[in-house]
């Protein structure tokens, strides 16, 4: 245990609601495949979130960032964490939210390859990506990674940014 309480929220939804998820995989096509995932239970209400009460922010990947970046409060929350230099993690399509929030200028980040063109457009630099899409890039308080194979690397770096450690 790292000693943190994790709240999972979604704009316009309350604690106890469930959001449908997707599972992406790499099966030899030109891009990922998408399959129906499971219903993920939210444990906090988005409207009542106060970012000052949180130590870090994890921005999910998949398709949700395409919609999350359209929500002004989401963008304000991202800006709060980046301005306060609190740890922020973004995976896969997550950097689209960082781009929309305008926080990538002068930063190095990576996302899913199809999302990486948004990074330099916003004044950032695309970091090094390895063929297995399983690495993480750290730039100050920000850790980004390209896809689900990078969860171990990204979470390891995110925990470090939170000031924690874990050993197996």
The answer to whether the beta carbons of residues 96 and 69 sit under 8 Å apart is yes
93 assigned to active site: yes
Q: Which residues pair with 144 in a beta bridge?
A: 90, 137
Give the torsion sign (CA, 8, 100, 164, 128). Answer: positive
> Tokens for 1?
């245990």
> Tokens for 164?
């924690």
115 assigned to active site: no
Q: Of these residues, 10, 24, 38, 92, which one is catalytic?
A: 92
Q: Of these residues, 10, 24, 93, 122, which one is catalytic?
A: 93
Please state, in angstroms and rounded to a whole number, the distance separating the CA atoms of residues 134 and 155: 11
Q: What amino acid positions are annotated as catalytic residues?
A: 92-93
């Amino acid at each position: 245990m790292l000693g943190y309480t994790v709240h999972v929220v979604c704009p316009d939804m309350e604690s106890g609601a469930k959001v449908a998820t997707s599972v992406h995989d790499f099966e030899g096509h030109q891009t990922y495949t998408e399959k129906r995932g499971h219903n993920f239970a939210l444990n906090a209400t988005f409207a009542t979130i106060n970012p000052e009460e949180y130590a870090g922010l994890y921005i999910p990947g998949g398709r949700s960032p395409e919609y999350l970046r359209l929500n002004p409060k989401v963008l304000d929350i991202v800006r709060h964490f980046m301005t306060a230099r609190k740890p922020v993690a973004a995976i896969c399509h997550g950097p689209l939210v960082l781009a929309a929030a305008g926080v990538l200028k002068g930063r190095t980040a990576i996302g899913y390859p199809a999302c990486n063109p948004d990074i330099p457009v916003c004044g950032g630099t695309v970091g090094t990506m390895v063929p297995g899409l399983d690495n993480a890039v750290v730039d100050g308080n920000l850790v980004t990674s390209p896809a689900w194979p990078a969860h171990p690397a990204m979470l390891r770096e995110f925990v470090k940014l939170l000031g924690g450690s874990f050993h197996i």
